[in-house]
Amino acid sequence: MQSNTRIHSDPYLTEDHFDRIPDPLVLLIFNKVADVRSLGRCSAVSKRFNSLVPLVHDVYVRIDRVVTVDGDPDEPLNLSSPKPRNLLSHLLKLMLFTILKPFHHLQNPSGGNKSLLPQLSHHSPAQVLKNFTHIHNLRIELPAGDVGTEDGILLKWKAEFGSTLQNCVILGGTWMDRKPASSNQEQSAEDNGSIPESFYTNGGLKLRVVWTISSLIAASTRHYLLRQIIKDHPTLRSLVLTDADGQGTLTMGVEQLREFREKPLAASASSNRTQVPASNMKLRYAPYLELPEGMGMQGATLVAIKPAGEGSSGNSSSRKEVEAFISGAFDGPFKAAVKALVKRRTYLLEMNGF
Amino acid sequence: MAEKIILKSSDGEVFEVEETVAMESQTIKHMIEDDCAGNGIPLPNVTSKILSKVIEYCKRHVEASAAAASKYAAEDSSSKPADNELKAWDEEFVRVDQATLFDLILAANYLNIKGLLDLTCQTVADMIKGKTPEEIRKTFNIKNDFTPEEEDEMKVRLISGKSTKHIAVVWQSVVKATEPPTCMRLVFVMENGNGWLPAVVTSGSRASAFGGLGEYNCLRCCLAYGLLR
């Protein structure tokens, strides 16, 4: 049915303007479309579009539903991700025996070994991306953060992976609020930069360790999911895996993707995520931080994780890289939080691989 | 004190612009640097109508950069309102008919003005997002040059990731296996009113998806067995 409302007669109204622009410009437009669903529809528009869509450089995949599929040996599941909460409590129990007392108050969901298949209209992302042959920059957005947290708790992480963890920074807070400008009670009291005794006695350290482990599990699980995609797309230069809640970001750049392809991936014992290597952690804490835009963060914690034994920390250029990574990890008020926390006293912790 | 550059459009009109504004175009910038700008720069690919719009864009953005630079020097971090203003101006700027929009894309490409190229391409991209193939064709008057068979093939591939040849074989074998059908319940999961993921439940076992059959192949199968009312 021919259109719609034409108020004025325009000789160009019946012309296909795409005919006037060369393929590289059409590709530019497709790069800006980026969304994989829309691009799929573009490829059904005409033969020219159909031939150009596979050449797009920038692709964005938004996963809107994660579907539970029981382990089915016939169906080659391209992407499977264990439900983090089940896994979390299971792993925590195993691992924390060696570090801290077990957390009895943690939920024990009736988890079996259900595997979740992130799906895009009943296709896995790897399948949907199979048509694209020249992807340079891939962004994938999961529907939600992997780590469940109680109300009011803020948890954000950013991790860089090559074939294994290279860098991770976690920002957490026990409460976020909008504070009136006049409050500065706690701040002046214990602001000598060191962690107050209360932090250890009221479960503060335990909570931070849980945050850290959960975030690392989430990050390494996501990393493991990407194997097929990275294998399928040798043209990849950058890969970013985020979630709609803005909780966690996994990034891989050119060098890291190369390392991934060259070095074999070490899977963890449960083999649904990458092994996290033994690491050094730097923890910084502030009981209360005032942030821009009138926000306040209680129990603010910054944890920076780096695998142990990777070129000694005396290497100044790598230290600068790590600092740049940490300060650039988050935006907005969180960037300011990181800036404030970095000035605080650093506590060093060591962690086994898991 | 500001140098003026002469630009000549394809239809003979002459435009005098400040050098900073003209230099927004990398093409013109190189010409100036290579000393070819003497008697004015001829732009045979750009009409006066489009050139005046391009100049308008460059002027506005040069002004914005200058303002931002002075704010930076004064360490004034209140750039947000100015950014929003510029964005609003840009949005208004590209509110033009399609012919002009595509002319601007071509001009921005020829003159190598990254900001304008990004803006115009993004505008077209936004017109594409969220539309079905037929809607896209309508919006841009694109001719559908697929044969009906090719279209079928694409539809099936889009939904199932498999080709029609493959589907037919799978479908036939599924039908044979369940003949007479032992299906107790046919479950369809609708997604956005477009794709159907069919699943067949057989005598008490859990649902196993056909996983990849085209929508109409499965519907055909169900209709054939009177399972779909």
Amino acid sitting at position A349: L
**Tell me, what DSSP letter sits at residue A47?**
H
Return all residues near A189 (Cβ < 8 A) that are at least 6 apart. Answer: none
Interface test with A, best of B104, B105, B152 (most A CBs within 10 A): B105
In Å, what is the CA distance from A252 to each residue of A139, A164, A230, A237, A259? 11, 11, 10, 8, 10
Please state the length of chain A. 354
Distance (Å) from the alpha carbon of B201 to chain A's nearest alpha carbon: 15
- pLDDT the model gives residue A136: 95
DSSP symbols for B102-163:
HHHHHHHHHHT-HHHHHHHHHHHHHHHTT--HHHHHHHHT------HHHHHHHHHHHHHSS-
- pLDDT the model gives residue B124: 96
Tell me phi and psi for residue B63, to 5 degrees: -60, -45
CB contact under 8 A, B141 and A16: yes
Tell me phi and psi for residue B18, to 5 degrees: -70, 150
Q: Could you tell me whether strands A175-178 and A295-307 are parallel, antiparallel, or unpaired per DSSP bridges?
A: antiparallel
- CA-CA distance, A325 to A185, in Å (whole number)? 32
CB contact under 8 A, A12 and B97: yes
In Å, what is the CA distance from B49 to each residue of A328, B11, B45? 44, 9, 12
**Nearest residue of A to residue B102 by CA position?**
A17
CB contact under 8 A, A122 and B146: no
The separation between CA A181 and the C-alpha centre of its own chain, rounded to angstroms, equals 33
CB neighbourhood size of A349 (10 A): 16
Which candidate from B124, B132, B141 shows the least CB-CB separation from A14? B141
Share of chain A above pLDDT 90, in %: 27
- pLDDT the model gives residue A48: 94
**Nearest residue of B to residue A72 by CA position?**
B208
Return all residues near A180 (Cβ < 8 A) that are at least 6 apart. Answer: A294
Q: Greater confidence, B159 or A342? A: A342
CB contact under 8 A, A41 and B133: yes
Report yes or no: B154 at the A interface, CB cutoff 8 Å. yes
* B7-40 pLDDT, tens digit each: 999 999 999 999 999 999 999 999 888 887 778 8
**C-alpha closest to that of A285 among A210, A214, A346:** A346
Amino acid sitting at position A127: Q
Distance (Å) from the alpha carbon of A17 to chain B's nearest alpha carbon: 7
CB contact under 8 A, B211 and A75: yes
Return all residues near B172 (Cβ < 8 A) that are at least 6 apart. Answer: none
Report yes or no: A1 at the B interface, CB cutoff 8 Å. no
Under the banding of pLDDT at 50, 70 and 90, the label for residue A354 is confident
**Nearest residue of A to residue B198 by CA position?**
A122
Interface test with A, best of B158, B187, B189, B206 (most A CBs within 10 A): B158
Query: What is the rounded average pLDDT of the residues A217-233?
Result: 89
- CA-CA distance, A338 to A300, in Å (whole number)? 9
CB contact under 8 A, B118 and A32: yes
Residue A76 has pLDDT above 60, yes or no: no
Return all residues near A17 (Cβ < 8 A) that are at least 6 apart. Answer: B98, B99, B101, B102, B140, B141
Residues 106 through 165 of chain A touching chain B, CB cutoff 8 Å: 121-123, 127-128, 130
Which residue's structure tokens are 């669903």? A37
Q: Evaluate whether A70 touches A82 at the Cβ level (below 8 Å).
A: no
- CA-CA distance, B103 to B101, in Å (whole number)? 5
Q: Could you tell me whether strands A347-351 and A175-178 are parallel, antiparallel, or unpaired per DSSP bridges?
A: unpaired
- pLDDT the model gives residue B135: 92
- CA-CA distance, A205 to A44, in Å (whole number)? 55
Residue A248 has pLDDT above 70, yes or no: yes
Q: Evaluate whether A60 touches A85 at the Cβ level (below 8 Å).
A: no
Q: Greater confidence, A65 or A346? A: A346
Residue A47 has pLDDT above 70, yes or no: yes
- pLDDT the model gives residue B159: 54
CB contact under 8 A, A46 and B117: no
- pLDDT the model gives residue A348: 87
- CA-CA distance, A48 to A42, in Å (whole number)? 10
**Tell me, what DSSP letter sits at residue B225?**
T
Q: Interhelix angle for A204-225 vs A84-99, to 10°?
A: 130
- pLDDT the model gives residue A73: 28
Q: Decide: helix, strand or coil at residue A310.
A: coil
**Nearest residue of A to residue B124 by CA position?**
A29
* A149-205 pLDDT, tens digit each: 888 888 999 999 998 899 999 999 888 887 655 544 444 444 555 667 767 766 678
- CA-CA distance, B99 to A20, in Å (whole number)? 10
CB neighbourhood size of A184 (10 A): 12
Report yes or no: A27 at the B interface, CB cutoff 8 Å. no
Q: Evaluate whether B146 touches A61 at the Cβ level (below 8 Å).
A: no
* A260-277 pLDDT, tens digit each: 988 877 777 677 888 888
- Provide the mean pLDDT of chain A: 76
- pLDDT the model gives residue B229: 25
Q: Which residues, given as ranges, of chain B have pLDDT below 50? A: 166-229
Q: Decide: helix, strand or coil at residue A157.
A: strand
Q: Which chain B residues have a beta carbon less than 8 Å from that of A40?
A: 158
Sheet of B183-191: strand order equals B183-191, B195-202, B208-209
Q: Please give the interface size between A and B, counted as residue pairs whose CB atoms are below 8 Å apart.
A: 101
- pLDDT the model gives residue A21: 94
CB contact under 8 A, B117 and A28: yes
- CA-CA distance, A192 to A344, in Å (whole number)? 9
Tell me, what's the ipTM?
A: 0.72
Distance (Å) from the alpha carbon of B144 to chain A's nearest alpha carbon: 5
Q: Could you tell me whether strands B195-202 and B183-191 are parallel, antiparallel, or unpaired per DSSP bridges?
A: antiparallel
Return all residues near A104 (Cβ < 8 A) that are at least 6 apart. Answer: none
Which candidate from B101, B129, B141 shows the least CB-CB separation from A15? B141
CB contact under 8 A, A25 and B105: yes
Under the banding of pLDDT at 50, 70 and 90, the label for residue A298 is confident
Q: Evaluate whether A245 touches A145 at the Cβ level (below 8 Å).
A: yes
**Tell me, what DSSP letter sits at residue A266?**
P
Question: Which stretch of A9-23, A52-66, A210-224 has the lowest confidence by average pLDDT?
Answer: A9-23
Q: Which chain A residues have a beta carbon less than 8 Å from that of B137?
A: 45-46
* A112-149 pLDDT, tens digit each: 333 333 434 456 788 788 889 999 999 999 988 888 88
Report yes or no: B129 at the A interface, CB cutoff 8 Å. yes
Which candidate from B128, B141, B189 shows the least CB-CB separation from A42? B128
Residues 245 through 304 of chain A touching chain B, CB cutoff 8 Å: none
